[in-house]
Every structure is written in structure tokens, then in C-alpha cells.
Structure 1
Amino acid sequence: MGSERARGRARRTLVAWLLGVTTIVAADAVAYAQSKTERDMARALMDEGDAKVEKKDFAGALRAYRAAHAIMGVPSTGIEVARTEEKLGHLVEAHKAALEVANMPVKPGEPKPFTDAREAAKQLAAQIESRIPRLTVVVRGVPESAPVEVKIDGALLPSEAARAAQPVNPGKHEVSAAATGLPPVSKEIEIAEAQRLQVTLALGDAAASDDGSGNAGRRLSPLVYVGFGVGGAGLIAGAVTGGLSLSRAGTVKELCPAGTCPTQAALDEATPVNDSAKTLANVSNVAFALAVVGVGVGVAGIFLSGGEPKKSPEATSVRLQIGPTGIGLVGRF
């Protein structure tokens, strides 16, 4: 706080010196206030800014310093604008203001506070530059040559700079993109000091495939639906036919205990039942084998899934067709 008061006293001394100047070369007149009234106003504004800084009212101080700098346009007023912008976290604006002061041309016979302010501005600009975050907006779903409107906090970026890293202030920002014939998309992001952040905005088909987490949507291969469909159907068919086979085998055992039929009538009755049990057992074995193959195909489909066009589950179907003497697959792919 002591340094703030010291700077305030130095500025008041400088303004008093300016007020005492009665003859200024015409070429240098624009470097100073145009009239005593304006100089008085600038001095009052600088005092107001100093008072608000002491109260930590940096927004109010910035308004006062900007107004004074608009009147005076000298390094000692400009440096206070830059310093206050930096206190508010406006690193981009602070860097720009500091560079403007640092690049102000040296006037013949200018007072030392002007030279000191110019040097301080150079140091401030260098110190702030490394702290400024950079934001890169990547737009998916449109050709690189297609015109795209990219905005940060509602401000349209020039087309030639839209794909380059943009300096922004730390904090929250809204990023949006739009292209002809496609609905606009927007995203709120937060960025820290010195951070380098890339934000992807998806338009059109790219937006439809986006899973909402910032990554491209993963498309499942039809093999997943076919494989697990066959696997599930095979398990069901194997269980059903296996159960029927065991039931028929039990009937045969009742008719012919220990594998021997006591009468011709029992043999005649047991023979077709036994044949059916064997057929169903074979069908069950085949169904379970298909279930194993189907699950394997489904797992392979998961690993092979990628960017190929996605079929809906309704477009791909498969079912087992079981007959008295065999088993088959019927499907639509």
C-alpha cells in the first residue's frame, strides 16, 4: 500500500509540473492536456483512481484511470491502466495496455516519470505475457476450407485466426461455432493462467455421433448384434432341446430298464422315443456349439467396432430354427 501512495504522490507532482508549463512546442502539445481545465480534470481522476485502489475497488479505479488517460495520453497515466487491468485478472487487456505505453514515442525533454513509466510498462508486459492462457477451437464436421463462424464470449474471430490459439483471460468462457446450413453449437469452458487448452466443437453429423464427453461416438459393428444374438439363441435352444432329450431318455429307461425291453410292445414304443432323444441331444450339442461361436463373434465385433456406419439393432436380427431332425439359422443382416 505504501508503494501505491508513493506512486500517487509522484503522479500528483508530475501533474503539478504539467500545470506549470505555459509554453509547449506545438508539435508536442498533443502529448499533454490541451487546456488547464482538462489537466485539472485528469489530476482529479488520477486522485480518484488512487483512492479507489486503496479501497481495493479496482473496477472503479480502472474507470478513473482510463478517463484520465483518455485526456492525457501519457505513459504515467497509461501504466496505471495496465496495472489495474492486471489486478482485475484482465491479463489480455493489461498486456495490450502495457505494450501501448512501452511503445509510446519518446518526446524531447519529457520528464523522468514518463521514462520510468515506459520502462515499467515494458517489464509488466513481459511478466504478463507468460501468464496469458491460450485457447484453440477445433471444429469437426465441416471441411477445412468451409467458412465457419467461431465466437468466444460472443465475439466473432476473424476467419484467418479462427483456427489459431487465441489469448484469453483466465476464468470461464463460452465458445461457439456455426456453419451454413448447420445448427450452431456452444460449450462453456474454464481455463487457468498459463494454460493451453484445445476445445472441440462438433457440427452436423459429427455432433450426432458425439457421446457428449468430448470424444467421438463409438459405433458398434453389426457383428456384435449378430454374434450375441446367435449366442443367446443357441444357449436357449441348447437348454430346451437338452431338457427334452433327457425327458425322452427317461421315458425309454422306464420302458426298457437296464437297456432291455421286457416285451415287443415295449420295444416298439421305446424305439421312436429313443430316436427322438438322440436327435434332440444332437441338436442340443449343436446349439451349445453355436452359442460359443456366437459369443466369440460378438466379442470380436466389440474390438472391431469403430467409425464404420452404424446399423441399428432393429436392422440386424438372427434366430434359430429348430426342426425334428436338425437346427438352422435364419437372419437379416
Structure 2
Amino acid sequence: MRFLGSTLLALSLVLVAAPPVSAKPSADAVAAKKAVVQGKREERKKDWEAAREAYEKALGLDDKPATRIRLAKVEDKLGHLIEAADQLQQALKSKKLKWAERRAAKVHLKKLEKRIPTLNLEVPASFEGHVWVDDEEIGQGELGEPVAVNPGTRQVRAEADGFLPYKESFEVAESETKAVTILLTEAPPEKPEPKPQVKEDTESSSAKKTLGYVSLAVGGAGLVVGTAMGLAARSTRNELDSSCKNDVCSESERDLYDKGKTQANIATAGFVVGGIGLGLGAFFLLTADSGEGKKNPTAEARTRIVPVLSPRQVGVVGQF
């Protein structure tokens, strides 16, 4: 029994003293470690953008405070002081941070906070609008208070109803406190929008021109027919005058008389159609220019075209 007790005691001491078996690292942890190695390599080459990308990749796979401290140094090199301070603050919240790393991070953060510049944004007392520094909107409660920004060129924008948009760029140095007064100019009263040009004016003008040309063509054709039939009727009349004695015609000349009468009627109709066609054509063309008929309502009242038809004269008389 004494031997068995001694054996069990020795075995228990061996089990207690034996080091724990370490778990195999996950694939993400392995990939994160490779990304950190890549970031260090880019740091040695002073390729800060590539180093930042590598450390951000590592943090996305395995969030370690030591990686955040390295990322803070790279952000500092890029002039991103606010981002660097944020990484250090997050690293200091971790309980996994070693004492020496924590002390170095605190020193770095204290120096960064002194280097971060600020803007004091001053707006009118009754300001009710929006203010942006670069692409970040500043809340109403922050207006009039120091706003931390990174050094370099910063752009301030402001918008408010009834005022013209404000936009101005500033150069801000490290540790500088710059006062920015946002001056807003009242927007001019809006001009009444011009009434859109009614398409009907153009279409009406085009239609009038088309009708004018068609009317002229019909009128011209009517005059040609009227002239031809008039000449034919005159010839028939002369023939009757030579055949009839004392305006008395024989039965054989009746057909010739009817023919002459028909020719005279056609000639008259041709002259009437020609006169009306020419008159309408001239009227439509004269009233189709640039919508003048709408601008001057009395234009039509002042425009008058009268066809003139007589055995000795064919044409139109116009008043404009």
C-alpha cells in the first residue's frame, strides 16, 4: 500500500509539471502572420501604402494589438495622425499587450495628440444647415468647438437653405489651430422660368408655308386653264361672228355655240380658282414668318387679299 501510494503521488506530480500541448494555429492566424511579415518587408522599403494594406489584411484575419501598433506607425508616416492615434487607443485597450509595448504605445499616443491640428468652425448664430470637412459631416454640436483634422490641405463646405453654397480649402500644419469663419451669401431671387416655346408655333408656320405653296400651285394651274379656255372661247366666238348674220345663227351653228359657252364657263372657273389660289398662297406665306401672327394679333386684320377677275385683267389686290 505504501508503495502504491508513492507511485500515484509521483505520477500526479509528473502530470502537473508536464507542459500543456499547444493547439495548432488556425488558417487565419497563419495567413495573418504572413501578412505581418509582408508589412514589415514593405516598411523596410518605405512603401507605406503597401505596408498599411498588409497590416490591415492581418487585422482582418487575426486582431492582435501588436499589429495595431505597427499599423499606427505606418499611418503616422502617411500623415494620417488621427488614424494612427485611433489604432494606438484600440491597442491599449487589449489585455494581451506586453508591458514594454504598452509603455511605448502610450508615449507614441501622447506625442501624436500634440501634433494633431484642429479647426474652429465659426458659423452665423442662426445657421441651420450642413457643414463638411473633406467628406465628413460635422454635427451641429461640434460647430464652434475644435475639430481634429489631419495636417495638409483640408476643404470646408457648407450649405443652407436660401444661401449660396460655401466652399474653401485651407493648408493646416501639424499642431496648428486654425479658425475658419464660414461666410454665407444670400442666394439671389430665382428668376421666373421662361415659358417654353410652344411647338405649335413652328408646326403652324410650317403648315402655313405648305398650304401657301400648294395654293400657289393650284392658283397657277387655274390661271393656265382659264387662259387657255378663254383663248379657245374667244376663237369660237370669232368663228360664230363670221358664220352668223345679225346675231342670227342657223341650227348648224348651235353645237359651235354650246362649245363656246362651255369654254367660257371653264375659263371663268379657271380664273376664279387661280385668283383664289394665288390669294390664299400669298396670305399663308406672308403670315407664316416666325410666328408673327401670334405676336401681333392684328396682323390678320390688316392683311387683306382680294382676287380681281375681269375679261381684261386677272390677278390679286393685297392690303398689308
Structure with more contact order per residue of length (Cα contacts < 8 Å, sep ≥ 6)? 1
